Amino acid sequence: MKDVGEKIRLQRLTKKYSQEYMAFMLDISQPAYSKIERDETELTIQRIFDIAEILEINPYTLLPKPKHGSGITLAYFRTLEKLRKFWSKAKTKKLQARKDTFKSKQGH
Residues 6 or more apart in contact with residue 56 via CB below 8 angstroms: 15
CATH of the domain at 99: 1.10.260.40
Q: Is 11 helix (H, G, I), strand (E, B) or coil?
A: helix
Contact between residue 99 and residue 25 where contact means Cβ atoms under 8 Å apart: yes
- Per-residue pLDDT tens for 35-94? 999 999 999 989 999 999 999 999 988 987 766 665 566 667 777 788 877 777 777 778
How many domains does the chain fold into?
A: 1
Global pTM? 0.66
Nearest CA among 43, 33, 23, 39 for reference residue 102? 23
**In which domain, by residue range, is 45 found?**
4-106
Nearest CA among 4, 95, 101 for reference residue 50? 95
